[in-house]
Amino acid sequence: MIVEVLKKVYRVSKALWVKSPATHDIRSHLMHDTPRFRGEHTIDYETCIGCDACNKICPTHAITMKHLPFKKQNIVPEVNLSVCIFCGLCEDVCPTKPEKSIILSGGRYDMISGGWHQDQQDFWVHVDIPQSYIDERLEAEEATRVKKEMMAKKKEAQLHNEKEDKA
Amino acid sequence: MQTIQALFQDFSTLYIQEYKPTWLKVKLQNATDIVEVAKALQSNGLTVISTVSPTDFVEDNRIEMNYFFEDILTKRNCWVKVDIPREIEQCVIDSITPIFKGALWHEREAYSMFGVRFTNHPDLRPIIVSQDFYGKTPYRRDFDWAAHEADTLGNIQAIYEDFEQEQAQNETLLDSNSSQMILNWGPTHPASGPIRLKVHCDGEDILGIDPDIGFVWRALEHLVTKKDFVGAIVAVERLCFMDNINSMVGYCQAVEEIANVEISEFAKWMRVLLGEVSRISSHMMGMGNFYNSLGLHTAFMWNVDVREYFLDFLESYSGARIATAAIEPGGVRYTLEEGMLETLQKAIEKFDATKEEIRAIFVKNPTMKSRATTKGILSAQAIEEYSLCGIVARASGVKTDIRLDEPYAAYDQVQMDYVTQQGGSAADRLKMLFDEIEQSVAIVRQAKAHIVANIANGNFNPTKDHMVKVPKKLPKGEAISRVEWARGEVLMHLVTDEKATNPYRLKMKAPSFNHTMILGELLKGESLSDIPLIFGSLYICQGDLDR
């Protein structure tokens, strides 16, 4: 009796040593991997010039432009992945060089299989901009504004002087 | 061509132009002449009507009707245009359906979308659209979509009430001698896809079939007008995913014709290469679907296994397996890089390794043969009568293939010939699919060798030649372009306005429309169990059926 059971246990446990005929776990490794695979977007807020081209071409209106508190280059794209059809036209029209600001080629493919989605917000590509970057940009903007003002004042004074000289 | 031109001497015309080598473009003055013109054309051998396409010109207060008559054997085609008033009450024209049976559904579609009424039409009911669109004109330029969509509840109610009413009449006559009833085949039948066949039957015998279509209507022809010329490709490719490349080729050719842009030789060959790969992947699904609808899923699995290798190539090239969006006006969208053609080579090798087995088991299958060689027979005459095309036409021995009749891309340099079968039965259509896969693989080999050789000797630059710049704003104009799609002829009729940034009107004629239209004729008198067989053999896709 016990021998029978042991035999069965031995027979079944042999499966532990046999190599699986499956070679790939496609949840983590693709059967066919290509650098052009159109997956999740990466957005570079530092190089983005805020031209709105990706938003305009998007055939499904998956892109919304997030407003930033700057005077220039004050919008940056955010993508709703549950609306996006991954056509890649946004990457095509992005004018920044040499690296495009919005890229989906080579993006992650495990959006459904990976189990990383907790709620609807996970299907968004949000742009998280650190406060330090915002402060930096604002400071730079303020500095240029002050500089411009100073220049304008100087010019005005110069003109004024010239006029007085003529008079 | 001269004989056709001579025909129009009896009618008052605004202009007669030669258009492309195989087309004659005529504008009639009087809409009342259309029936006589159709009769004259038919008696001169132009026996096929490709489609009927209205274009709505709001500012001129007219609707322009376009009729595309074709002679599928001798490559003479005629494009007839005529204006009719735009007001709903006066928007009437004589139907040509009594002369060309193939126009039956095309005129119904024009009626549903543009409100054009056809007098003497035998069956002028709305098609494709659901009940909430009845009496409305969704494709007219001034249709208020927002107002329509605002009344969602009312729309659902309309659809629901109509459905209730219809189902109440399903059981028409039930007694001990006979039991006539209407059987719903689909839209959730495992073999049907999103289509509903209202089968009028007496016991097991089919009395007639009334297909109810439009379950996946996305109004693509309207969507395209909301996008720019490049963005429109994603709507065009959704005609049907199985063969998305060739539909984009058709659209892009029309844009290039209006923009007067000549694409590079490399791009032309790439279009051939990608198009054939796409055709192979579509046919593999088609073969699988044929057996799927018969209840044998092995064929589907085996074919899909081989198909994956071809999709690998599409993915290497474009970054997507199914919705590639790989053809743009001006050429092809991506550069060709080293190693991509090796992926294709792998696919061809896989096909070569498995083809004999697939042929022996599925194409020469004796059970299938005994079942399918006597069913769904279409004669060559019926092909012309109902304006059928593609593999359905070629399975009946009709030599028609746009790749040879009106060569586009680089097909004029490709060595190929008509592939036909003589029987016209369901089994012949399955054989056609496999024969065409073999033909396509041969073309892929040619195109690949040509591209490799020309890259090696420096004629092609795969990183620069793929695109020619197409201006963002197009001049006023119109063009038609035809391609041999996996399922048959796709005709794109593109109209643009002055300084256009998006299409004014794009008519997409898709082959499944006609192939579904003849289901009733084919199945009359057969038994219920033949529906999946004949439906599966016609290679219908609901994507291009509904658009």
DSSP per position, B110-167: HHHHH--EEET-TT----SS-GGGTT--TTSTT--HHHHHHTHHHHHHHHHHHHHHHH
| pLDDT reported for residue A113 | 54
In Å, how far from its chain's centre is CA B212?
18
Asked if residue B234 and residue B120 are part of one domain, the reply reads: no
Percent of chain B with pLDDT over 70: 99
**Closest CB to B319 among A31, A85, A88:** A88
Q: Which of B63, B71, B11 is nearest to B35 (CA)?
A: B11
| pLDDT reported for residue A112 | 57
Count of CB atoms situated within 10 Å of the CB of B141 = 14
The alpha-carbon gap from A85 to the nearest alpha carbon of chain B, in Å, equals 9
Residue that is last in its domain, among B95, B128, B161 = B128
Distance CA B203, CA B99 (A): 34
Tell me, what CATH number does B349's domain have? 1.10.645.10
- B148 residue type, one letter: H
Find chain A residues with C-beta within 8 A of B312's C-beta: 32
Distance CA B497, CA B58 (A): 12
> Are the CB atoms for B467 and B329 separated by under 8 Å?
no
Per-residue pLDDT reduced to its tens digit, B211-249: 888 888 988 889 898 888 888 888 898 888 888 899 999
Chain A touched by B154 (CB under 8 Å): no
| pLDDT reported for residue B142 | 87
**Closest CB to A36 among B227, B308, B318:** B318
Write down the pTM of the prediction. 0.86
Chain A touched by B541 (CB under 8 Å): no
Q: Which of B287, B301, B305, B289 is nearest to B435 (CA)?
A: B287
At which residue do the structure tokens 């743009």 appear?
Answer: B328
Is A34's CB within 8 Å of B234's CB? Answer: no
Is A89's CB within 8 Å of B228's CB? Answer: no
Search chain B and give the residue with CA nearest A33.
B316
Is B315's CB within 8 Å of A34's CB? Answer: yes
The alpha-carbon gap from B231 to the nearest alpha carbon of chain A, in Å, equals 6
Q: Phi and psi for B495 in degrees, rounded to 5?
A: -120, 135
Residue that is last in its domain, among B128, B144, B171 = B128
What lies within 8 Å, CB to CB, of B393 at 6+ separation is B72, B383, B400, B488
Find chain B residues with C-beta within 8 A of A100's C-beta: none
Is A57's CB within 8 Å of B312's CB? Answer: no
**Closest CB to A87 among B316, B325, B334:** B325
Asked if residue B114 and residue B231 are part of one domain, the reply reads: no
Domain limits for position B84? 2-128
B267 in a structural domain:
yes
Q: Domain spanning A43-134 has what CATH number?
A: 3.30.70.20
The alpha-carbon gap from B321 to the nearest alpha carbon of chain A, in Å, equals 9
Per-residue pLDDT reduced to its tens digit, B524-533: 888 888 888 8
| pLDDT reported for residue B299 | 86
Output the tens digit of pLDDT for each of chain B's 547 residues.
Answer: 777 777 777 878 888 888 888 888 888 888 888 888 888 888 888 888 988 989 988 888 888 999 999 888 778 888 998 988 888 888 888 898 888 888 889 999 999 999 898 988 888 888 888 888 888 888 988 888 888 888 888 788 888 888 888 888 777 766 677 778 888 887 877 777 788 888 888 888 888 888 888 888 988 889 898 888 888 888 898 888 888 899 999 999 999 999 888 888 889 999 999 999 999 999 998 888 888 888 888 888 888 889 999 999 998 898 888 888 889 888 888 888 888 888 899 899 999 999 888 888 888 888 888 888 888 888 888 888 888 888 889 998 888 888 888 888 888 888 888 888 888 888 899 898 899 999 999 999 999 999 989 888 988 888 888 888 888 888 888 899 989 998 888 999 999 988 888 889 899 988 888 889 888 888 888 888 888 888 888 888 888 888 8
B148 in a structural domain:
no
Domain total in chain B:
2
Q: What is the dihedral of CA A106, A109, A111, A112, to 10 degrees?
A: 170
B208 in a structural domain:
no
For chain A, the domains span 43-134
Residue that is last in its domain, among B88, B109, B128 = B128
At which residue do the structure tokens 């129009």 appear?
Answer: B8
pLDDT band per the 50, 70, 90 thresholds, residue A4? very high
Taking residues A14-37, report their average pLDDT.
Answer: 79
Tell me, what CATH number does B32's domain have? 3.30.460.80
ipTM, 2 dp: 0.77
Search chain A and give the residue with CA nearest B321.
A37
pLDDT exceeds 60 at position A33: yes
